[in-house]
């Protein structure tokens, strides 16, 4: 039983009745469940309104990472919150890159190649069904073995796996023993593995909200990560059928809302022009400057420009063709593929059988369109509400999707609605080729010029106006801009990490090997902690950025390790000596002393040129003059001991918490 369900249990309710209000604050997480999934995922969420009725004076806080305006309004209404304060931060995840790829017969091979190139990275691949997770894991593992890669583990994870086995697989993935998990979308709620380097979707998600949340499980350590969505139109059909089947009423508002969200995700997948990041953030009501994407999505990289075409006449012809086909087929359904092919003028028997095509007025009217372009038009007709696909059982007992006019069809026929479709502009190709030529010329010039001129960065800094948190009616009023505002360099996507400003000491191949060696060493320490009863994973000891910095700077003493400043004091005490011993052994085993010697000479020169710092008096008045807490405090009444403060000896039990 999760905490959401537990909070409504009789035991918890009894406790709440007897606790003093002044010591209690109710904090509710996953607030999006009130609106986005609450109707069909966890009904207890919609019952949480009783908390406000039963405990009217208890402070209530609701938190979520994926709240658009509707979710916020729903949460406030369900929880009965009165005059709430709303704090928002940006939804932008600058370290994530986004890409939508066509799902076809080469998709699994692409995945296998991608994983093979990143065999030391952790990833998740989300699938639509439990069967898909098993099939995909098996195919990927076989593909990797066929490529000669046997040290990359791929396994599946879903609700029907035995709980003990599921926990075992989860732990193997968390500790890096398994690299890839193929999983259903329920996997990931509540997990916090920071070093997931990629999240793939083997099928289209149910909504942009779902996609943002699922892809957001990548790169929580702040390092770059890839989010790749494999899209095929048939995924939409499967998801829509699932939504309609799960609904008790065919036209209820909840079902219509889910269909609209699905079509929103369909538009996201089909769009080749707008910035992926912009589309996601606008879904949550946040404006984003496309220039700040910095080519970290496939659409910005491609740079295609749209040509906005009015295809209202073509849409009316297609609707007329559907009407004529429906009459001619005497109630037998018309599929999207059949309608598309007949509009193009196909003579294939599979589409024209039992039809008198001479009586179809719009037959062949779309022969000028290539199949891919007509697919774009037909799909747009669906998600713009001019056509509607309905799943029906055919004569063989299987479900097929058949067409009927959508809710906006009559408006189009009456001239009250215009139908537009975006196509790649003819000028895009010319611009792209010009851009490539410019890059080639620039690179040639740079290589021939021995002293290229570098543009100097401006040293001027603009002082920002200070935003003040004010009191209003005895309450704090915090402007949303304080939470939303940040420097451009922080928001900038795809920029280089500032973790290490110095050039790596060892050659790149040795630095890369050393990173892997350190990670293996830290993973062994984490396993040791787990055997000792501590729930510790390798990133609790040392994150990937710290490992990379240590491998680049190669500290060979405890002092040098401390100077780098990438790991905490307790970690240095617990593992510092073992780490330094391992680094020294690596240098000696690979004959890399000459690289380290240069570093030592540089350090000696630096120490010689640096003047010793003035000693600081250790009197009882050791207080910084600009201490932000030095307000009306009589420090003479506080007994501050002279001399150094006592230090703790960290010998695990999770570093003497």
pLDDT tens, 267-298?
A: 999 999 999 999 999 988 888 999 999 999 99
Which band of pLDDT confidence, cut at 50, 70 and 90, is reported for residue 4?
very low
Q: Under 8 Å CB-to-CB from 290, ≥6 apart: which residues?
A: 275, 277, 278, 300
Interstrand relation of 196-201 and 122-126 (parallel, antiparallel or unpaired): parallel
Strand order in the sheet with 180-183: 96-102, 225-231, 196-201, 122-126, 180-183, 154-157
Query: Tokens 């320490």 identify what position?
Result: 525
Q: Which two tokens stand for residue 297?
A: 């999505």
Cα–Cα distances in Å, from 600 out to 505, 556, 595?
11, 10, 9
pLDDT tens for 8-38 read: 555 455 555 555 444 455 555 555 555 554 4
Annotate 255-279 with b (16+ C-beta within 10 A) or e (fewer).
Answer: bebbbebbbebbebbbeebbbbbbb
- Percentage above 70 pLDDT, the chain: 70
Asked if the model's pLDDT at residue 174 lies above 60, the reply is: yes
* Position with higher pLDDT, 455 vs 550: 550
Asked if the model's pLDDT at residue 648 lies above 50, the reply is: no
Contact indicator for 118, 198 with CB cutoff of 8 Å: yes
> Average pLDDT over the chain, rounded to whole?
77
Which band of pLDDT confidence, cut at 50, 70 and 90, is reported for residue 461?
very low
* Position with higher pLDDT, 545 vs 31: 545
Q: Under 8 Å CB-to-CB from 331, ≥6 apart: which residues?
A: none
Asked if the model's pLDDT at residue 635 lies above 60, the reply is: no
Between CA 140 and CA 181 the distance in angstroms is: 11
What integer is the mean pLDDT of 401-425? 92
Between CA 381 and CA 385 the distance in angstroms is: 6
Among residues 198, 41, 191, the alpha carbon closest in space to that of 126 is found at 198
Asked if the model's pLDDT at residue 315 lies above 50, the reply is: yes
Q: What angle do CA 104, 109, 110 make, to 5 degrees?
A: 80
* Position with higher pLDDT, 606 vs 502: 502
Asked if the model's pLDDT at residue 477 lies above 90, the reply is: no
Q: Tell me the backbone φ, ψ of residue 54, rounded to 5 degrees.
A: -85, -25
Asked if the model's pLDDT at residue 397 lies above 70, the reply is: no
Between CA 381 and CA 420 the distance in angstroms is: 9
pLDDT for residue 558: 94
Beta strands in 368-495 (DSSP E): 387-393, 399-405, 420-424, 470-472, 475-477
What 3-state class would DSSP assign to 614? coil
Between CA 213 and CA 521 the distance in angstroms is: 32
Contact indicator for 298, 100 with CB cutoff of 8 Å: yes
pLDDT for residue 177: 86
Contact indicator for 269, 212 with CB cutoff of 8 Å: no
Q: What long-range pairs does 504-511 form, CB within 8 A, spacing at least 24?
A: 504/551, 504/552, 504/553, 505/552, 505/553, 505/554, 505/595, 505/596, 505/598, 505/599, 506/551, 506/552, 506/554, 506/592, 506/595, 507/595, 510/590, 510/592, 511/551, 511/552
Among residues 195, 30, 58, the alpha carbon closest in space to that of 540 is found at 195
pLDDT for residue 254: 81
- Alpha-helical runs (H) found in 565-592: 569-589
What integer is the mean pLDDT of 542-568? 92
pLDDT for residue 447: 37
pLDDT for residue 72: 80
Q: How many residues does the chain have?
A: 657
Q: Tell me the backbone φ, ψ of residue 646, rounded to 5 degrees.
A: -65, 140
Between CA 98 and CA 276 the distance in angstroms is: 7
* Least confident stretch, 126-130, 184-188, 485-489: 485-489
* Least confident stretch, 201-215, 406-420, 500-514: 500-514
Query: Tokens 């023993």 identify what position?
Result: 177
Contact indicator for 300, 321 with CB cutoff of 8 Å: no
Contact indicator for 171, 122 with CB cutoff of 8 Å: no
Asked if the model's pLDDT at residue 316 lies above 50, the reply is: yes
- Whether this prediction's pTM lies above 0.75 is answered by no
What integer is the mean pLDDT of 222-229? 94
Q: What is the DSSP letter of 155?
A: E
Between CA 211 and CA 229 the distance in angstroms is: 9
pLDDT tens for 95-154 read: 999 999 999 999 999 999 999 999 889 999 999 999 999 999 999 999 999 999 888 999
All structural domains of the chain: 3-79 (3.40.50.300), 96-305 (3.40.50.300), 309-424 (1.10.10.10), 508-608 (1.10.150.80)
pLDDT for residue 188: 65
pLDDT for residue 513: 93
Asked if the model's pLDDT at residue 580 lies above 90, the reply is: yes
pLDDT for residue 26: 56
Which band of pLDDT confidence, cut at 50, 70 and 90, is reported for residue 620?
very low
* Least confident stretch, 94-108, 124-138, 246-260, 513-527: 246-260
Among residues 274, 153, 162, 143, the alpha carbon closest in space to that of 208 is found at 274
Q: Which two tokens stand for residue 646?
A: 């006592």
Asked if the model's pLDDT at residue 376 lies above 90, the reply is: yes
What integer is the mean pLDDT of 198-224? 93
* Least confident stretch, 88-97, 337-346, 464-473: 464-473
pLDDT for residue 285: 85
């Amino acid at each position: 039983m999760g905490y959401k369900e537990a909070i409504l249990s009789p035991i918890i309710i009894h406790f709440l009745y007897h606790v003093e209000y002044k010591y209690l604050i109710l904090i509710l997480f996953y607030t999006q469940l009130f609106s986005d999934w609450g109707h069909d995922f966890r009904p207890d969420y919609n019952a949480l309104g009783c908390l406000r009725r039963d405990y009217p004076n208890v402070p209530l806080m609701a938190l979520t990472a994926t709240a658009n305006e509707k979710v916020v309004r729903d949460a406030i209404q369900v929880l009965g919150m009165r005059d709430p304060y709303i704090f928002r931060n940006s939804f932008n995840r600058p370290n994530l890159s986004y890409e939508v790829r066509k799902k076809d017969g080469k998709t699994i091979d692409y995945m296998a190649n991608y994983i093979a190139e990143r065999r030391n990275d952790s990833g998740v691949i989300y699938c639509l069904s439990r069967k898909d997770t098993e099939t995909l894991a098996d195919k990927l593992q076989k593909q990797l073995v066929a490529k000669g890669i046997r040290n990359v583990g791929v396994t599946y994870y879903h609700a029907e796996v035995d709980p003990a086995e599921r926990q075992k697989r989860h732990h193997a993935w968390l500790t890096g023993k398994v690299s890839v998990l193929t999983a259903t979308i329920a996997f990931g709620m509540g997990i916090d593995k920071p070093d997931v380097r990629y999240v793939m979707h083997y099928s289209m998600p149910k909504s942009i909200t779902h996609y943002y949340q699922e892809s957001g499980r990548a790169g929580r350590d702040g390092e770059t990560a890839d989010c790749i969505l494999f899209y095929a139109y048939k995924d939409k059909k499967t998801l829509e059928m699932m939504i309609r089947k799960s609904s008790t009423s065919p036209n209820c508002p909840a079902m219509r809302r889910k269909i609209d969200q699905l079509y929103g995700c369909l538009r996201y997948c089909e769009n080749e022009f707008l910035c992926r990041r912009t589309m996601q953030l606008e879904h949550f009501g946040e404006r984003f400057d496309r220039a700040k994407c910095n080519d970290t999505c496939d659409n910005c990289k491609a740079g295609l420009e749209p040509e906005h075409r009015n295809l209202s006449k073509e849409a009316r012809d297609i609707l007329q063709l559907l009407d004529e086909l429906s009459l001619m087929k005497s109630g037998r359904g018309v599929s999207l593929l059949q309608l598309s092919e007949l509009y193009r003028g196909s003579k294939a028997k599979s589409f024209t059988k039992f039809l008198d095509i001479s009586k179809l007025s719009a037959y062949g009217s779309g022969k000028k369109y290539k199949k891919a372009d007509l697919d774009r038009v037909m799909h747009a007709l669906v998600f713009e509400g001019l056509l509607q696909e309905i799943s029906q059982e055919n004569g063989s007992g299987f479900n097929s999707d058949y067409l009927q006019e959508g809710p906006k069809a009559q408006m189009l026929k009456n001239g009250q609605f215009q139908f537009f479709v975006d196509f790649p502009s003819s000028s895009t190709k010319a611009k792209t080729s010009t851009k490539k030529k410019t890059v080639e010329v620039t690179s040639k010039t740079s290589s021939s010029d021995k002293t290229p001129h570098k543009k100097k960065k401006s040293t001027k800094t603009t002082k920002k106006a200070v935003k003040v948190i004010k009191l209003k009616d005895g309450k704090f009023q915090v402007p949303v801009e304080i939470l939303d505002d940040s420097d451009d360099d922080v928001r900038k996507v795809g920029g280089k990490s500032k973790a290490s400003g110095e050039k790596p000491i060892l050659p790149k191949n040795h630095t890369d090997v050393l990173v892997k060696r350190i990670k293996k060493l830290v993973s062994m320490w984490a396993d040791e902690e787990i055997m000792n009863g501590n729930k510790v994973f390798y990133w609790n000891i040392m994150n990937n950025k710290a490992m990379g910095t240590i491998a680049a700077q190669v500290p060979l003493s405890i002092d040098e390790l401390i100077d780098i400043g990438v790991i905490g004091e307790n970690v240095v005490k617990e593992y510092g000596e073992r780490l330094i011993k391992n680094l020294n052994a690596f240098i000696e085993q690979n004959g890399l002393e000459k690289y380290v010697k240069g570093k030592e000479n540089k350090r000696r020169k630096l120490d010689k040129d640096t003047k010793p710092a003035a000693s600081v008096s250790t009197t009882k008045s050791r207080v910084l003059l600009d201490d932000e807490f030095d307000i009306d405090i009589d420090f003479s009444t506080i007994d501050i001991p002279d001399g150094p403060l006592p230090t703790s000896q960290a010998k695990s039990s999770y570093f003497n918490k």
